[in-house]
Structure 1
Amino acid sequence: MSVYVDDAITVWRGRRWAHLMADTLGELHAMAARLGMPRRAFQDKRSGAHYDVSEDLRADALRLGAIAISRHRDREQVRAIIRIARSQWSGLDAGAS
């Protein structure tokens, strides 16, 4: 079982962001907690369960044992991890209360 952080560094609001994903939701939430991220930062999305992490948090996640994955070099591995993340979506409509 593993936690992964991609190299999809996207610029948003003047900062660079990547995605933290894992083989299980338990591992994902545990790593996020170790990074000091609140549970409300969890992205329960149809596109894949994940946390958005800043460049600094990405570096911290790697120091804590997350595995770096590259959307450029490790395409098959990234696709497999995204399939797992998609399967972790709760199925709830984000707009539902």
Structure 2
Amino acid sequence: MTILIDPPLVPWRGRMWSHLASDESYEELHAFAEALGVPKRGFDWDHYDIPGEYFDRAVAAGAVPVRSRELVQRLISAGLRRRKRSA
């Protein structure tokens, strides 16, 4: 089980945001996010967008901090990367 989280570096709606992902399964990711109290609406194709204030709690709960590039690479390597369709 590896839950990954990148630093809260993405500004949006007056907050900084992180991405929470699993390199194992979506089921693992959903269970971790639910235990952390992240709303289901935060799920975005293959990861959760979570406010920066969740970062320390996520790490304390077992998420592994990684750089954004590594998070994406591990999703790709695990076959879990889902790209958004362009309009």
State the TM-score bracket (shorter-chain normalisation). 0.7 to 0.9
Q: CA deviation at 1:50?
A: 0.5
Counterpart in the other structure of 1:19: 19
TM-score between both structures, scaled by the size of structure 1: 0.71
CA distance in 2, matches of 1:8, 1:57: 9
Residues 62 and 20 (structure 1), Cα distance of their counterparts in 2 relative to 1, 3 Å cut: same
TM-score between both structures, scaled by the size of structure 2: 0.79
Give the % identical residues. 34
- Length, aligned pairs only: 84
Q: CA deviation at 1:58?
A: 1.5
Q: CA deviation at 1:79?
A: 4.2
Counterpart in the other structure of 1:54: 51
Q: CA deviation at 1:21?
A: 0.4
CA distance in 1, matches of 2:8, 2:51: 11
Structure of greater Rg: 1
Q: CA deviation at 1:57?
A: 0.9
Specify the code of the residue in structure 2 equivalent to 1:78: L
CA distance in 1, matches of 2:56, 2:8: 13
Counterpart in the other structure of 1:10: 10
- What RMSD in Å do the two structures reach over aligned CA positions? 2.5
Give unmatched runs, 5+ long, in structure 1.
none
